[in-house]
Amino acid sequence: MNKDYNEIKESVKRLLSDSLGIEPEDIEDDFSLTEDLHMKATDLTDFMQILAQKNFDTESIDFSEVETFSELIDALTQNQ
């Protein structure tokens, strides 16, 4: 994995942990956003707005196809 991927992953993990009120170490790559992290549709929408405010390109991502944290990172790195 390249440096950009790891930087994006750590940045998103920090933002997500802040948003959910959990520690970054508690977020595993294979965690489901909805099942393991208990995010509702409104939580996901709010988090996408946070990512957009931090200059992540979220407009071209189909979030209905993103189920896990690693899939989110993959989608974000493909669109940066």
Residue 37 has pLDDT above 70, yes or no: yes
pLDDT of 44: 92
Q: Looking at the DSSP assignment, which residues form a beta bridge with residue 68?
A: 32
For 11, what's the count of Cα atoms within 13 Å in the CB-facing half-sphere?
A: 15
* pTM of full prediction above 0.75: yes
CA-CA distance, 23 to 26, in Å (whole number)? 5
Query: Do residues 21 and 37 make contact, with C-beta atoms less than 8 angstroms apart?
Result: no
Find tokens 């929408």 and name the residue.
45
Query: Do residues 77 and 66 make contact, with C-beta atoms less than 8 angstroms apart?
Result: no
The full set of domain ranges for the chain reads: 3-78
The residue-averaged pLDDT of 54-78 equals: 91
The residue-averaged pLDDT of 21-41 equals: 96
CATH class of 3-78: mainly alpha
